[in-house]
Amino acid sequence: MSDAETLWVLAVGIYLAETLLLVPRDAAVFRSAGRGGFRAVRPFFARRDSGPGLVMGTPWPPLGLLAIGRREGALLAPEVVRDRVGAWLAASRRVRGAAVALLVVTFAGSALVIWAPAGPWGRASGAWVFALVGALWALTGGLAVRLWRRQDPARRAPGKDLFTALASPLSAVRVHDVLGRNELADVSELALALALLSPEARAPVVRAALVRARGEGGAAEAALAATLSGEGVDVGAVLAPPAREDADAQAYCPLCLAEYRVAEGVCSTCEGVALVAFGVESR
């Protein structure tokens, strides 16, 4: 192979390795969400360093919209959140389409240039592949910059992140993630869950919010419970104790539902959340 072909092989190999390394994480995310979490935009929850986050789109990061809800974000009404998500997906449709086309042409064109025999559709005509990749790269970048400039400055991703994503045809397919990363960052993860997830899939997020509110005092928990009830959430069912799997278990963590063989204490994995004894109302 020529030096140019070798570079193409290395670039594609690095990209594939980077993507495949993320697949186990994404598979775990899918399992944690359950089937009930998938709707039109197929949202699901992922555990990250900052806590649970909402990820919308396909399991592979290059084609997804990543929006991590913050605990301190606004608890907007579900219809408001759905409107914002819908508006974003509609506005970014062209960027996503161009990015997908760029991804497909880059991989298919690379394989054609490197491994196809010489001829009308082989190495002898490889220049048109590079020209097409370049055109799609420019189109993706132009659409991304245009959408970025139209975004609310308060929710706009840093310019350096945008142009870093556009540094090469391989990284440019991730530009949609960069554009969407801050689009819903001012919205709480609870608001995103109420708006986009099924009751089964949003239960862990609702339970976590109630446990945090309980730590802030009875008034905060009562206010949040009233808000959730107004949105059709069965607070009692969310806070119901789990079915005891260990006959010797005496308490459980109200957040992760892990069982413990002690009557009192704190959860070892949930940052000191107090355990609740079985047979004691969790509210």
Write out pLDDT tens, residues 135-168: 999 999 999 999 999 888 887 888 888 888 888 8
Where do the structural domains in the chain lie, given as residue ranges?
Answer: 3-180, 200-240, 242-283
The burial of 227, by beta-carbon neighbours within 10 Å (0-12 exposed, 13-18 middle, 19 or more buried), is given as middle
Q: Give me the long-range contacts of 224-232 (CB less than 8 A, separation at least 24).
A: 225/283, 227/75, 228/194, 231/78, 231/194
pTM for this model (two decimals): 0.58
Query: What's the confidence (pLDDT) of residue 145?
Result: 93
What is the reported pLDDT for 67? 42
Q: Cα dihedral angle (81, 147, 60, 174), rounded to 10 degrees?
A: -140
Cα-to-chain-centroid distance, residue 58: 9
pLDDT tens across 82-105, in order?
A: 787 777 777 888 888 888 888 888
Contacts for 108-111: CB closer than 8 Å, 24+ residues apart: 109/133, 110/8, 110/9, 110/12
